[in-house]
Structure 1
Amino acid sequence: MQAFFGLRALDLMLLKLPGIKQIYDLKLIHTLSIEVLKCMCEHITTLNRKESEEGLLFRAFFEAIQNGMEEFVVALLKARPQTIKLVATNSRNTLMCALQYRQEKIFSFFCSSDGWKLRFHGTDCFGNNCLHIAGMLAPDFQLACISGAALQMQRELQWFKEVQSIVPEWCKKARNKEGETPSDVFTKSHKELAKQGEKWMKATASSSSIVGSLIITIMFAAIFTVPGGHNQETGFPILLGKKSFMVFLISDAISLFTASISVLMFLGILTSRYAEEDFYKSLPQKLILGLSTLFISIATMMVTFSSALIIMLQGRWSVIIPIILLAALPITLFMWLQFPLLVEIFISTYRPGILVKTKKQWH
């Protein structure tokens, strides 16, 4: 009994912590919503089509697809499997709606159902098939979740190519009522986004290449002005035998080489032709390599500075340690400002495909 009250007191204490109460409330709302959904699905099985329409069931189903409410969609399909055959007011089937709103999980879920390939044969009231829908620009609320116009363009290309790989061959060349193929629709609807992506890429590459160029200049000069000077007779550095001096040389060389690679990558971005295909792999990969090598270059530059400081001050750690800690600030700032972007680009470029195997079934 005491243990129970002790745990209860601990629970109450945890709920007072910042953020814990909000998480608890959200989890409670979710649990209660699932219970309400179960009760609703039990009632749905007793309704006929007319009663379902009057009860706004079908409208709720399409809104659930639009908002990515996978649990609602799965539960409803378990209760009424025939719901998957519904079409919206614009004659778009459930698969098209999931594509239109870029709901990845729901689209994958529909593609795991029986007879899903047959739904690719449908067209909407404008003559658009599934690939036409994939070629249209994603809703703003989906694009807003992705940083930068270039990554948004990349994501749109990933969707288009993924759908292109699974639709029947005729869909790829089919024309809608305006005489446009899916590729035409994609180019037309993403024209402005491609321009914004080009601008974003060039701005990122320009600012980063300036930093890389400065590092190259500094590191190139540092290798010829080594701490301790040179032996006038042999020309070799006086401190060549010291470990700290070797650290200085190696880190200087690494910083110089990585900065050079970084600048070359950013130069490749600036001189790119910026075709649609470039946003798919080429430009993101160059940006990943450029930012990665720039980070290594900045880090090794700070190591070079620190090792030179240790050589010159010769054991005066009361001065060396604070300065080294200050030298770590640029690395920390770069990590804070650019590393999240680097991670996002990496995940966006090398993530698995849109279609993922789902274990959820309604049969």
Structure 2
Amino acid sequence: MIIAENEEKERAEFEKSIPIDVGKARDTHLIVATLIATVTFAAGFTMPGGYNSNNGPNQGMAILTREAAFKAFVVTDSMAMILSTCAVLIYFALADYGDQTKLLYRYSLTAGLLMIATGAMVLAFITGIYAVLPHSSSLAIPIWIIGCFSFVIYYCLFKENFHKQFESISFNI
């Protein structure tokens, strides 16, 4: 009985030392991960440039298969899809997890996966648009500039947030 009370006190103190509510953050991350997986899954089947509908050996194949920007689109879209799906699966594994230290470690792992997946999704968008536009187009260059500028903003927002969020957490496993 005394041991159970001590464990409850230790758990309450530990939870007070965490600067965020992991449960609420986990729910939000799960929604974001599911949305990223859904969007990138759909983008993978609605290929930029469309499909070859002419009869022959290339019928049904993506038209822009040989374009470098298209290849970059496929790689970044696949990265976003796989990383966000991994985050969803890790969150399902965390549903009834008792060890707080491992819970926080896996929470930070999934947060990192989602950050990379979000960046890959932005790159997939940029490369997909670039693949279907003529490369000398006056639209292609601004899209690349806006896309690259978004990573500067992305870095600034998350750098400070993650330092505050995880400075008081130790990850001893």
- Bin the TM-score by the shorter chain: 0.7 to 0.9
Instruction: State whether residues 49 and 62 of structure 2, in contact with CA within 8 Å, keep that contact through their aligned partners in structure 1.
Output: yes
Instruction: State whether residues 288 and 346 of structure 1, in contact with CA within 8 Å, keep that contact through their aligned partners in structure 2.
Output: no
**Residues 160-239 of structure 1 mapped to structure 2, 5 A cutoff:** 180=2, 184-188=5-9, 190-191=11-12, 194=15, 200-232=21-53, 233=55, 234-239=59-64
Q: Which region of structure 1 is more displaced relative to structure 2, 323-332 or 249-258? A: 323-332
Cα distance in structure 2, aligned partners of 1:283 and 1:202: 10
1:203–1:214: structure 2 CA closer, same or farther, 3 Å change rule?
same
2:132 counterpart SS class: helix
Cα distance in structure 2, aligned partners of 1:247 and 1:346: 35
How far residue 337 of structure 1 moved from its aligned partner, in angstroms, is: 3.8
Partner deviation per Cα, 1:107-133 (whole Å, 9 max, x = no partner):
xxxxxxxxxxxxxxxxxxxxxxxxxxx
What is aligned with 1:323? Answer: 143
How far residue 212 of structure 1 moved from its aligned partner, in angstroms, is: 1.2
Q: Say which one has the larger Rg.
A: 1
Instruction: State whether residues 248 and 307 of structure 1, in contact with CA within 8 Å, keep that contact through their aligned partners in structure 2.
Output: yes
How far residue 301 of structure 1 moved from its aligned partner, in angstroms, is: 0.9
What is aligned with 2:129? Answer: 309
RMSD in angstroms over aligned alpha carbons?
3.0
Cα distance in structure 2, aligned partners of 1:323 and 1:247: 15
**Residues 128-167 of structure 1 mapped to structure 2, 5 A cutoff:** none
Instruction: State whether residues 255 and 297 of structure 1, in contact with CA within 8 Å, keep that contact through their aligned partners in structure 2.
Output: yes
Equivalent of residue 87 in structure 2, options 262, 272, 284: 262
Equivalent of residue 247 in structure 1, options 72, 75, 91: 72
1:292–1:191: structure 2 CA closer, same or farther, 3 Å change rule?
closer
Cα distance in structure 2, aligned partners of 1:211 and 1:330: 18
Higher relative contact order (CA 8 A, sep 6+): 2
How far residue 341 of structure 1 moved from its aligned partner, in angstroms, is: 4.5
Cα distance in structure 2, aligned partners of 1:283 and 1:306: 35
Aligned residues between the structures: 166
1:184–1:219: structure 2 CA closer, same or farther, 3 Å change rule?
same
**Stretches of structure 1 lacking an aligned partner (at least 5 in a row):** 1-178, 352-363
**Residues 262-341 of structure 1 mapped to structure 2, 5 A cutoff:** 262-269=87-94, 271-273=95-97, 275=98, 278-280=99-101, 282-316=102-136, 318-328=138-148, 331-341=151-161
Partner deviation per Cα, 1:29-87 (whole Å, 9 max, x = no partner):
xxxxxxxxxxxxxxxxxxxxxxxxxxxxxxxxxxxxxxxxxxxxxxxxxxxxxxxxxxx
1:332–1:347: structure 2 CA closer, same or farther, 3 Å change rule?
farther
Cα distance in structure 1, aligned partners of 2:107 and 2:154: 15
Letter in 1 for 2:33: G
Letter in 1 for 2:134: Q
**Stretches of structure 2 lacking an aligned partner (at least 5 in a row):** none
Partner deviation per Cα, 1:212-246 (whole Å, 9 max, x = no partner):
11111111111111111111132111111111111
Give aligned-pair identity as a percent.
23
1:236–1:346: structure 2 CA closer, same or farther, 3 Å change rule?
farther
Cα distance in structure 1, aligned partners of 2:30 and 2:87: 7
1:326–1:260: structure 2 CA closer, same or farther, 3 Å change rule?
same
Cα distance in structure 1, aligned partners of 2:66 and 2:12: 60
Give TM-score, length-normalised by structure 1.
0.40
Letter in 2 for 1:202: G
Cα distance in structure 1, aligned partners of 2:168 and 2:10: 25
